[in-house]
A and B are shown apart, each in its own frame.
Chain A
Amino acid sequence: MKKLVLSLLIVFMSVTMFSQIVLINNGQQKIISEETLEILPSEEFDVSYESYLAEDGVVPKTSSFKAIRISFLLAYLKGIDKDATVHIVASDGYSQIIPYELCITDSALGSPYLAYSKNGEKEYCFTFKPEDGLVTNAEMFSVLGEEYSKYRKGIPSASGMMVKGISHIIINWDGNMDILNEKSDKVSENSEKANENSEFSVNFKGLNDFCIDMTIIDKLDSGKTHAKKIEIEEKGQLNSYAGMQLKEIIAAVDGGRRDHPFDFDEKLWNSGYDITMTAADGYSVTFSTKDVDQDDLYFVWNRNSEKITPMITGNVSGKLKIKNIKNVELSIANQEFTEQEIIISLKSDSKSLDINIHELEKSEYYFEEIGQFTTSAGTVHRDSYAGIDMAVWLKNEMDLKKEDTVQIKASDGYNMSFSGKDILVPENGKWMLAFKLNDEYLPEDPGYFRTIKVGKDVDTEGHNSVKMIVEIEIIKSEYRSYNIEFEGKMNFSIDRDTMQSGINCHKTVVECESKGERNEYEGIALWRLLAYSDDSKYAPHKQDSSIISYDEHAAEKGYDVTIVASDGYSITLKSEELNKNDDVILAVYKNGKELEDKYWPALIAWNSDSENIPENIKMVRNISKIILTER
């Protein structure tokens, strides 16, 4: 029993390993294995990096690192010149250069670190550890200078310093990629025969990453748990292989337990997903798991008692037998996400359908683009979005016409209407129904779908970037816009979208009796709208939310509120009577519908049962202007 536990422990320890770091200085080479890294002192910390979009107000992203000081690693190399440069190099050649001096003294960026875990995922990447936890573009530029700073689209971008997939740390690297490829060259020179000292790794990528190298294979070979012997007839002769069933490794990345012993998801395999296998020489083949028996594929490392570089073989078609296998990639999405039925509803008088987010992603309407929205307080959010082209989608699926109205409903009750024309032929950019932000699906909170305008130099007013969308309704009546002018200490023109947005936040419903008829009216309490013009400094949503834009003191002191209709008819009410009076509203809906033409676009309505009805109030309709005048 002890032996079994020990054996499992060894396997567990070895399979949780991933690749090594190669340190090079002037001909010296030192390979730091993960075991070595594990015993070096490490730290856990969070760092935020500004990107090139910082000037657009994009908030720096914070990542959590588990990392080792680069200076600890450099201690393995001898004779590093004080003026040397340290090149942190990824396996694809992307690198970050830092002067050696920065590795041994602190700067505004803090010390440089090699992280072996980022946001809980195993990954070798580079980071600084600044004291304030933030790496700004300006700090990068000031410490590293123009030459070693990172840029994107010509703009400094500190986030570019977080080199991922680090394989080498090289002193005074001349950019020669051969140094990085030495390993694989050796492998190919030796053909399939692997010598004892050769280094290789096979990467498995699914819902997580897993890497198998020689150390693991040696241990698997000596263990009894996984290694098997199989015989396969090839080119007229019987070859004997040692290896393990591929499914046993697939189990490590197919979404089950991430620790040994792994659970192979047989149900998922049988349901069918694609696996792409790539050899060191570039040969790549994809197969659907539905088409291959899970027991037929083997990952082998020994043929006829001779070690070979790992290959895929088995009782399968020749195209799936891959010598010198390098990568195995599973095309499986996050199950938690795929299993959710995230749908959006489309509705019109004649048609109703629900569409799954994954159908949208696979549809011809899907695209990616930079989008931007600005909140009413002026904060700009600019990011990369992916979603579908609303114009083409709604035109094709719902026969949207320019004359129609598009009503977008959110799960929190927020509604926003757009004209069909605005969706189909926007003045600039295009409307996207987005469900991915910077390559990640939009989360459940605040919601899976949002509208946003995308394209070059476009912006979306915050209230038009509707989030948490659950339904889009096409109404076959014309979308009519309007503006109501507010004049006072500040002048504002409130358009339909702003009014709608206000109703979403401050909906007030009153029952008003007029000419013996009682109706329900919906709108915004008039006192709230006075906030636009009652002082010269603050208006709703135009400053920090801690500042209340409504000037109650001024209302108590008293000013006149004149409500003017489009035909010039007006009434004047006293601010004292309207102050915090929710029984008097500027109404835009009557009995749940848009106002009829004779009232359009807004009227004054009040709660007939209220005791706070202003003295001179009358049902002014076709309101075009509201004027605040000092007495």
Chain B
Amino acid sequence: MKNVMSFIKTCFLFLIFIAVSLTVFSTSLFLNDSYFVNNDTISNDITQIALGELYPLMFDVYDVTFSFQNGDSFVFDENITEKFFDIYLSTTPDGTLIFNGNKIESISIKGEKCDISDLEIWIGWEGEKELKNVINSFSLKFGIKIKTLYVPNSYSKLISYIRSNKILPDIVMVESDDISTLMESKAIQNLDYIFNSSEENGSFFDKLKESFILGDKTWAYPFYADTHLILYNRKLIDFKNNTDSYKTLTLNDLKNMDEYVLAKEIIPISWNAYSGYFFLPFMMGFGKENFIEKDGTVRVNDVSSLKAIEYILTLEKESILDISERDAMTALFLEEKTSAIIGGSYMIPYLKSLGIDLGILTLPYNEADNCYIPPLLDIKGFAITRKSKNPVLSRRLIQYITNQKNQEEFCGELFKIPCRSEALDKIYANNGDGEDYSEKLRISVENGIAIPADKAYSVYKSTMWNILRFAISGQMKPQEALDTAQNIIDNNLKSR
């Protein structure tokens, strides 16, 4: 039903667009055209509409004037070209457009239209169908033919395309640790021009934006983040009256988690402690200041890392923690043999769809050091290829996908953390299952660490994947394992 409504809405907006287009583009379309819209063309079915959805896609807008019914007018005194999808107008029941509480009589803009041509975008990860819907609605609204390919490993495909001189897509969905190689391969263009020209960036979570910064330049436009969470089965666990525990557990609570589990044979918690991806939050949560040191190295044989590994080994020794790789861990959780797991937020829709009475917690709180164990933020974004023939059109599509309204729809369905801070609360305001996703995701994003775009992270991750299991299996003492890992990391980073 929701999809039908969405389709009808899309069609309606398209009709508005056609109507506006017909009335506006009767003269030369090259430079200095003035475009007018009045409320006759707006339906009262729409409660909110982005300014950009009322007009053709614009290359540059240099004069925007709202004339109000009360005779006043409002002229934007800054260039709002890059904000066209961020400025929303609302409608009254009779179809009148409202801006800042004033009824709009007409809108006049002066600017230059974008050249329209075909686009190609590679998307990936969860939400293929949902993202394609958003892209299709853009395509339909603005009459642009868009080839959307779902590419599971866009990073390596892009690199192979560059090496073989193939025609690249205009936009590629990326994650932060792809950036250094894509940048070095000159595959993507830096997007400083977007962020420098738009003061609206305040609405982005800084961490999401910063995760795509490398060498002081921004290489991708953030879209959403996944984060580590404790996912637990409410049927198997009872936090009694420890109300704080419904938000988070302390490290001490985690040590005593068997007290909350309702049956003795159930393992309290499981996670893939072999993985550096899961170890990094604990390293940082035990007092490490920076993951990547100022000299570009990564230190793993320090006190914080040792404390982290010893804590994990204690949990395992006391049968609180079962260390399993992802598939085994998920199987245990689904079979109700473990009450909780540390997993990615992207697992929430899947687990809920299986009917699990799911609760979520942030990663634990380290009461001794007065800080959270910071979850990793796995951030996805959109990069524009350096050799795109349509960088402006690409930018407009990205701005459309990541505007607040589309963020709310996409991230809401998939339990993602939207790149726009204000979208987070709206998404999870009324989810109906009694869980306060909004607060816990906000805590996670505020305390979290973005997966670094630096190559050092890949070196760290592959090294720890091999070495941590020696420490966990007892083949190496914790300090010995960390020293060995350090040695390998140093050698690998030195040879870069």
Contacts and interface: CB of A to CB of B under 8 A. Distances in A.
Counting chain B CB atoms within 10 Å of each CB, which of A278, A283, A317, A363 scores highest? A283
A234 B164 CA distance: 40
A287 interface: yes
Given A235-B32, A281-B196, A287 B164 contact: no
Contacts of A386: 163
Contacts of B491: 154
Contacts of B196: 281
B391 A283 contact: yes
Interface string B83-114: 00000000000000000000000000010101
Contact of A278 (B189, B492, B495): B189
Interface string A149-160: 001111100000
A288 B390 CA distance: 12
B192 A282 contact: yes
B338 interface: no
Interface in A341-396: 361-364, 366-368, 386
Given A153-B495, A236-B32, A281-B192, A286 B388 contact: yes
Main secondary structure of the interface of A (DSSP, over half): strand
Contact of B189 (A233, A284, A288, A361): A284
A284 B391 CA distance: 7
A234 B495 contact: no
A362 B389 contact: no
A291 to B, nearest CB: 9
A286 B193 CA distance: 16
A364 B189 CA distance: 25
Given A282-B217, A318-B392, A362-B165, A151 B495 contact: yes
B387 A282 contact: no
Interface in B30-80: 31-32, 59-60, 62
B387 A284 contact: yes
B191 interface: yes
A154 B32 contact: no
A276 interface: yes
Given A236-B110, A282-B190, A154 B387 contact: no
B386 interface: yes
Nearest to B113: A318
A366 B164 contact: yes
Contact of B388 (A152, A279, A285, A367): A285
A319 B59 contact: yes
Interface in A485-517: none
A560 interface: no
Given A319-B59, A367-B163, A282 B193 contact: yes
Nearest to A288: B389
A274 interface: yes
A261 B396 CA distance: 42
B60 A286 contact: no
B494 interface: yes
Nearest to A181: B216
Given A234-B31, A281-B192, A361-B164, A152 B389 contact: no
Contacts of B31: 233-236
B129 interface: no
Contacts, number: 89
B163 A284 contact: no
Nearest to B110: A236
B256 interface: no
Contacts of A288: 389
B163 A366 contact: yes
B191 A319 contact: no
Nearest to A160: B495
A361 B217 CA distance: 32
A286 B32 contact: no
Contacts of B192: 281-282
Interface in A36-57: none
Interface in B206-221: 215-218
A177 B215 CA distance: 9
Interface in A283-325: 283-288, 317-319
A281 B62 CA distance: 20
A361 B165 CA distance: 8
B31 to A, nearest CB: 6
B317 interface: no
Nearest to B492: A154
A184 B387 CA distance: 22
B422 interface: no
A318 B60 contact: yes
Interface in B155-176: 160, 163-166
B32 A287 contact: no
A276 B386 contact: yes
Contacts of B165: 361-362
Contact of B392 (A233, A234, A282, A319): A319
Q: What 10 A-B pairs have minimum CB-CB distances, sorted nearest first?
A: A282-B190, A284-B189, A281-B193, A366-B164, A318-B59, A286-B387, A154-B495, A283-B193, A236-B32, A282-B192
12 contacts: A154-B491, A154-B495, A155-B495, A233-B31, A235-B60, A278-B386, A281-B190, A281-B193, A284-B386, A318-B60, A362-B166, A386-B163
Given A274-B387, A282-B218, A284-B387, 6 more contacts: A154-B494, A279-B193, A286-B386, A366-B164, A367-B160, A367-B164
